Structure 1
């Protein structure tokens, strides 16, 4: 006794399409299964913070770590001095929102000569007036301020950023 196969099964193309469809469903199901089973990966930078905060989500701890490392700076790009020996307006502000102390070095672009170096400026501190370490003649000078960021606990250098300045000497 011979079993009669359905009409659509007799066509070889239909059989291959059915097998291909089942194969694709199997692959898609396996992909979804393994994606759902993938554990949450925590950056090694967050591991110490995660150990202390096991009851909080990774997202909350990551945001806290990012906020602690966020840095802003306010510096006036136009320093003005009445003469090369007097104090002038430099205006460097390390906002309270920062958690890192900084130092600022100002170097003339043309000669690469340092004309100002600050002491540590802690969060919430500012330098509004400053005197240059070199007596400059009257003129306008292009300069670069290098802001060095330090770890508040170890006092090790964490990084640096630069800002363009224009120094104006009146007399």
Structure 2
């Protein structure tokens, strides 16, 4: 008599264990699905882009984002060939700091072989250009590879913010 009771108890115990395992597995599957399910992404907005008032629309945020991007965008226009009639004459160099920039620049041109600076522009503010210049020292007739180093400055503090370079050629015709 003890054997059938014991067998029944073991069956009941197995059923309980199997039932608990199934319930645990079901909870685990549902929990995993909930945890890893696709949620709507929450947009993260940089503090620089936050508008002054709390009821901003997407258009205002987009407009402000474009303003921040424009303020950090820098373009330079420089003719890749500076042409001089002779080594002592004024020559066309064409350096433009477009009005779309907010940064003043200063350009130094140095010869590639000697690293000698043969021209320094001084400050060129946005919407200004340099069309023709004299070199610091006369050069003989020929073609001179050079580097234009563009120093970019903060418009308020006048501190240097960065440097970029452009390869140019100086042509002396006579």
TM-score range, shorter chain: 0.7 to 0.9
**Using a 3 Å threshold, how does the CA distance of structure 1 residues 50 and 91 change in structure 2: closer, same or farther?**
same
Q: Assess, with a 3 A threshold, how the Cα gap between structure 1 residues 25 and 63 changes in structure 2: closer, same or farther.
A: farther
1:72 paired to 2:110: no
Counterpart contact for 2:98–2:126, Cα < 8 Å: yes
C-alpha separation in 1, matches of 2:76 and 2:28: 58
Q: Secondary structure at the match of 2:33?
A: helix
Larger CA Rg, structure 1 vs 2: 2
The answer to whether the aligner puts 1:121 opposite 2:124 as a matched pair is: yes
Per-residue deviation at 1:135?
Answer: 1.1
- Of residues 37, 44, 53, the one that matches 1:40 is 44
Contact 2:51 2:64 in 1 (8 A): no
Choose which of 89, 92, 104 in structure 1 pairs with 2:92. 89
Q: Do the aligned residues in 1 keep the contact of 2:142 with 2:173 (CA within 8 Å)?
A: yes
Superposed CA deviations along residues 93-136 of structure 1, whole A, max 9, x for unmatched, are 01111111100000101000000000111111000101111211
In structure 2, relative to structure 1, the CA distance for the partners of 1:84 and 1:28 (3 Å cut) is: farther
Paired position in structure 1 for 2:171: 168
Residue of structure 2 equivalent to 1:63: 66
Q: How much is the aligned-residue C-alpha RMSD, in angstroms?
A: 2.9
Q: Secondary structure at the match of 2:145?
A: strand
Structure 2 CA distance for partners of 1:70 and 1:130, relative to 1, 3 Å: same
Q: Which residue of structure 1 lines up, in the alignment, with residue 35 of structure 2?
A: 30
Between the two proteins, the alignment pairs up a number of residues equal to 153
- Structure 2: unaligned runs, 5 residues or longer: 1-7, 9-14
Which deviates the most, 49-58 or 81-90?
49-58
TM-score by structure 1 length? Answer: 0.76
Query: Runs of 4+ in structure 1 displaced over 6 angstroms?
Result: none
Contact 2:106 2:150 in 1 (8 A): yes
